[in-house]
Amino acid sequence: MRIEEEIKLDFKDVLIRPKRSVLRSRIEVDLHRKYKFLHAKYSWIGIPIIASNIDHTGTFAMAKILSQHKLLTAISKFAFIDQWSKFITENEQLAEYVFITAGSNDLDFNNLCNITKILNNNAMICLDIANGYSQHFTDALKKIRLTFPDKIIMAGNVVTGEMTEELLLSGADIVKVGIGSGSVCITRKKTGVGYPQLSAIIECADAAHGLRGHVCADGGCTVPGDVAKAFAAGADFVMLGGMFAGHDECDGNIIKINDKLYKNFYGMSSTEAMNKYAGGVADYRASEGKSVHVHYNGAIENTILDILGGIRSTCTYVGARSLKELSKCTTFIRVTQQINEIFSS
């Protein structure tokens, strides 16, 4: 047993210090980025925000709207192949804005192979399990890279630099960063395992960029300012679940409780998800997700514009003309309070 004495930070622990800027308007900020990858044979251009691959937000309806803004969606691994066929037949031009999600078992691999045939050259892969430190996950990643040598592969989740490097060297182009930071994740309560998300992004991005790899910050963002902080900390992509939850494009029915409208939102390691997809919680494990009612938020369009507007504002405060410049222009300051909450109740 050992203890690391250095303090690790989360989004709530910092603010971004403003700097003199010659930018006159938010409209001058370019949020699009072009990426070349460590292994994949083609580049990608767009705004690097991804709807999470949980079944609530990783929907084809979400992909249709997000793609109009050049944002990405990681489609849930529980989407059927006939749903994929219908989506691509009707929206072939959107293939470059969706990830196919797969787990590490043989069934997931077979489904991945079948879906990839539908998407042809545009397929991007999200290899996703809760514990990216397991050897069988690394082995699955190597197998997928060998099978798809030219595809963009995102893999995770991890929170440390050495494992980020391991996944990149094993075939990942993008490493997904975050353990226990999601809004419907209770891994930290059940296991005591985790890492403050801001420090995880900084450390993993540093490790990845040294190898010409990329990282995706997954979890912990609750407001547009957190998304900006994630990019400022070095994230190349940011994945959002809770911030995209409760919209028309999300899975699930609208529920009315005490004259207020909600949608049900749950983690993929929750009892509800395992009852739905695995026949219940196995007796050798615990549920590491929760189920909540989130306010019904209508169409996703306004939320997208709010997030993008917030990031553009961040860039103007520090003089960054593009999203790519944001981390270079950022100085974080430690704080004890984020906002004045006198009228919050």
Contact status, residue 127 vs residue 104, Cβ threshold 8 Å: yes
Whether the CA torsion 36, 241, 200, 311 is positive or negative: it is positive
Structure token pair of residue 132: 């990216």
Structure token pair of residue 209: 């960029």
Specify the DSSP element, H or E, that contains 297: none
Sheet with 291-295: strands ordered across: 254-257, 260-266, 291-295
CA pair distance 164, 174, nearest whole angstrom: 9
CA pair distance 157, 143, nearest whole angstrom: 18
Could you say which DSSP state residue 85 is in? H
Residue 339, classed as helix, strand or coil, is coil
CA pair distance 238, 215, nearest whole angstrom: 8
CA distances from 201 to 71, 260, 285 (A): 20, 37, 28
Give the E-state strand segments of 267-321 in sequence order: 291-295
Active site residues: 185, 187
Contact status, residue 28 vs residue 321, Cβ threshold 8 Å: yes
Structure token pair of residue 319: 């003089």
